């Protein structure tokens, strides 16, 4: 993306609470100039969705095998509605209340399709996710007022593809599918980058059309 001239920011999130993660995203958005395309993977979709009706500067949302909850829903209720996905079947919750994936499940399921050596490195640097994030109930989701794009990972062993399709359909997202595991941005970077570029081009066209309308008026 950077090689193609895009300004890219990849923030690190505390994952201590959904509120803290949304606050970090807002902090990063305030530093941007011009309209932003926000991309979220997995739980990252929950963060950008929780921007709600206060998503100033956000011109598009790109979900990559990501949660896209609606108002009144929670991660815990959604994930508890059926048997756990293979990647999440043996979550380890520490005494501070943070969830971790054991290496076997991370490498074999969460990072399915990624080179095993690289997957072990990714496992080594994983952050624990506060269990409180599973209980947070979504307010009005940002996707109801921002154009959306969605990449469905067909081989996902963490977030079932059918759930991803459901998220994409109800948000009216422009949708593509990739023969990828959950970490699509690593195993299928070209497809992910292409979708982000599509979103950016839609934003650019919309900005140009708005400027033309304003000039005509």
Task: Please give the pLDDT value at position 205.
Answer: 85
CA distance 159 to 163: 7
Which sequence spans correspond to the domains of the chain? Answer: 18-80+138-216
- pTM here is 0.94
Task: Please give the pLDDT value at position 207.
Answer: 66
Burial class of 58 by CB neighbour count within 10 A (0 to 12, 13 to 18, 19+)? buried
Looking only at the bridges linking them, the beta strands covering 174-178 and 148-153 are parallel
CA distance 138 to 170: 15
Task: Please give the pLDDT value at position 211.
Answer: 36
Digitized pLDDT (tens) for each residue of the chain, 217 residues in all: 999 999 999 999 999 999 999 999 999 999 998 899 999 999 999 999 999 999 989 999 999 999 999 999 999 999 999 899 999 999 999 999 999 999 999 999 999 999 999 999 999 999 999 999 999 999 999 999 999 999 999 999 999 999 999 999 999 999 999 999 999 999 999 999 999 999 999 998 876 554 333 334 4
Task: Please give the pLDDT value at position 208.
Answer: 59
CATH class of 18-80+138-216: alpha beta
Task: Please give the pLDDT value at position 70.
Answer: 99
Element (H, E) at 46: helix 44-49
Task: Please give the pLDDT value at position 215.
Answer: 39
Residue 187, both tokens: 């195993």
């Amino acid at each position: 993306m950077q090689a193609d001239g895009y300004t890219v920011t990849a923030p690190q999130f505390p994952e201590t609470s959904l509120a803290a993660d949304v606050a970090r995203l807002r902090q990063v958005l305030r530093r941007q100039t011009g309209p932003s395309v926000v991309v979220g993977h997995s739980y990252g979709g929950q963060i950008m969705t929780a921007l709600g009706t206060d998503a100033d500067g956000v011109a598009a949302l790109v979900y990559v095998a990501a949660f896209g909850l609606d108002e009144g829903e929670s991660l815990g209720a959604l994930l508890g509605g059926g048997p756990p996905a293979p990647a999440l079947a043996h979550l380890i919750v520490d005494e501070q209340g943070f969830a971790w994936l054991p290496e076997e499940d991370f490498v074999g399921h969460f990072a399915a399709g990624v080179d095993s050596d690289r997957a072990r490195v990714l496992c080594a640097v994983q952050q624990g996710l506060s269990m409180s994030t599973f209980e947070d109930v979504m307010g009005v989701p940002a996707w109801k007022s921002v154009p959306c794009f969605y990449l469905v990972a067909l081989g996902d062993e963490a977030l079932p593809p059918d759930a991803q399709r459901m998220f994409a359909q109800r948000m009216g997202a422009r949708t593509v599918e990739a023969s990828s595991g959950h970490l699509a941005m690593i195993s299928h970077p070209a497809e992910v980058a292409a979708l982000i570029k599509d979103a950016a081009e839609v934003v650019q066209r919309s900005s140009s059309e708005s400027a033309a309308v304003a000039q005509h008026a």
